[in-house]
């Protein structure tokens, strides 16, 4: 399965979620490839920190930020792994578009902030165009899961209103998981660790990410275009 974590809006935690999804799948025994399609190379840095820390399982990560190279390499690389997770750069670019054409699922991290909600129309429009292009090529529709990320801790109006705004976009299925801004997640990333590996353990951070990741791999079973919230197991 090829999963792209992408949003045309930057600063929404794409790299964090991509690395956490990849690590969770690797820990579950899957053969995982993380593709860093962002020129900043932050996912690669996380993979390097993990390797230098001697952690197992290793996180296999390659950087393919050039769109044409990604187009050429994605299928043969993905064929060698159970799961391929792509961390796309934080803007509309060629590698994001190639990944939208070739992936099975797009995870869109959305920060519950006004600026992020305003930007939803941009990624929604790109998704529409990608779906048209996929249909033209005879490819199945791209599944799209919007994931609330970097939310303020506790129930708050911003988060509720962002969920309401997302419901207005038929392009997204909205995950019931809400990943909040937690120091444990940032600390885990700094060492290339999953939150489950970080000591001392932050049970809330672990639970939120577990719920999101289970949604990511359940979403293809849902009806396409259905934006009903998914209940975690």
Partner 1 sequence: MAITQPSKRSKADAFAAEAPDAKPAPKLRGKRQTITFGLPPDLIAEIDAIAAEESRSRARMIEIGMRQFIRDYRRGAAARDAA
Q: Summarize as ranges the residues that interact with partner 1 (CB under 8 A).
A: 67-68, 71, 91-94, 96-98, 100-101, 129-130, 132-134, 136-137
Q: Which is nearer to partner 1, 78 or 98 (CB)?
A: 98
Q: Which is nearer to partner 1, 20 or 63 (CB)?
A: 63
Minimum gap (Å) between residue 37 Cβ and partner 1 = 12
Minimum gap (Å) between residue 9 Cβ and partner 1 = 15
Minimum gap (Å) between residue 166 Cβ and partner 1 = 24
Minimum gap (Å) between residue 129 Cβ and partner 1 = 6
SS (H, E, C) the chain: CEEEECCCCCCCCHHHHHHHHHHHHHHCCCCEEEEEECCCCHHHHHHHHHHHCCCCCCCEEEECCCHHHHHHHHHHHHCCCCEEEEEECCCCCHHHHHHHHHCCEEEEEECCCHHHHHCHHHHHHHHHHHHHHHHHCCCCCCEEEEEEEEECCCCCHHHHHHHHHHHCCCCCEEEEEEEECCHHHHHHHHCCCCCCCCCCCCHHHHHHHHHHHHHHHHHHHCCCCCCCCECCC
Minimum gap (Å) between residue 134 Cβ and partner 1 = 7
Q: Which is nearer to partner 1, 10 or 203 (CB)?
A: 10
Q: Which is nearer to partner 1, 136 or 233 (CB)?
A: 136
10 Å CB burial of residue 68 (0-12, 13-18, 19+) is: exposed
Minimum gap (Å) between residue 101 Cβ and partner 1 = 5
Q: Which is nearer to partner 1, 20 or 95 (CB)?
A: 95
Q: Which is nearer to partner 1, 142 or 189 (CB)?
A: 142
């Amino acid at each position: 399965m090829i999963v792209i974590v992408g949003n045309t809006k930057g600063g929404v935690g794409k790299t964090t979620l991509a690395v956490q999804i990849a690590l969770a799948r690797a820990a579950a025994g899957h053969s995982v490839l993380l593709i860093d399609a962002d020129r900043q190379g932050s996912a690669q840095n996380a993979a390097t920190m993990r390797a230098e820390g001697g952690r197992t399982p290793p996180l296999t990560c390659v950087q393919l930020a050039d769109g044409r190279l990604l187009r050429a390499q994605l299928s043969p690389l993905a064929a060698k792994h159970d799961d391929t997770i792509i961390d796309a750069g934080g803007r509309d670019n060629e590698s994001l578009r190639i990944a939208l054409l070739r992936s099975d699922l797009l995870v869109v991290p959305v920060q519950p902030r006004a600026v992020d909600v305003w930007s939803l129309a941009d990624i929604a429009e790109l998704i529409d165009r990608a779906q048209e292009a996929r249909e033209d090529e005879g490819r199945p529709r791209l599944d799209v899961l919007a994931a609330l990320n970097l939310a303020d801790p506790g129930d708050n109006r911003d988060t509720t209103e962002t969920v309401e705004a997302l419901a207005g976009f038929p392009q997204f299925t909205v995950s019931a998981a809400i990943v909040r801004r937690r120091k444990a997640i940032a600390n885990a990333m700094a060492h290339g660790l999953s939150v489950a590996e970080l000591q001392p353990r932050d049970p809330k951070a672990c639970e939120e990410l577990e719920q999101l990741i289970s949604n990511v791999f359940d979403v293809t079973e849902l009806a396409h275009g259905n934006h009903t919230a998914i209940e975690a197991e």
